Amino acid sequence: MEIAVLIKPVPEAETRLRARADGTQLDAEGVKFVLAGYDESAIEQALLLREATPGSKVR
Task: Decide if pLDDT at 28 tops 90.
Answer: no
Confidence of residue 52 (pLDDT cuts 50, 70, 90): very high
Confidence of residue 35 (pLDDT cuts 50, 70, 90): very high
Q: Distance between CA 59 and CA 7 in Å, rounded?
A: 11
Q: What is the pLDDT of residue 30?
A: 87
- The answer to whether residue 1 sits within a structural domain is no
- The answer to whether residue 13 sits within a structural domain is no
Q: Which domain holds residue 42?
A: 32-58
Q: Distance between CA 36 and CA 7 in Å, rounded?
A: 8
- The answer to whether residue 36 sits within a structural domain is yes
- The answer to whether residue 25 sits within a structural domain is no
- The answer to whether residue 51 sits within a structural domain is yes
Contact at 8 Å (CB) between 50 and 56? yes
Q: What is the pLDDT of residue 59?
A: 87
Number of structural domains (the chain) is 1
Q: What is the pLDDT of residue 56?
A: 94
pTM comes to 0.70
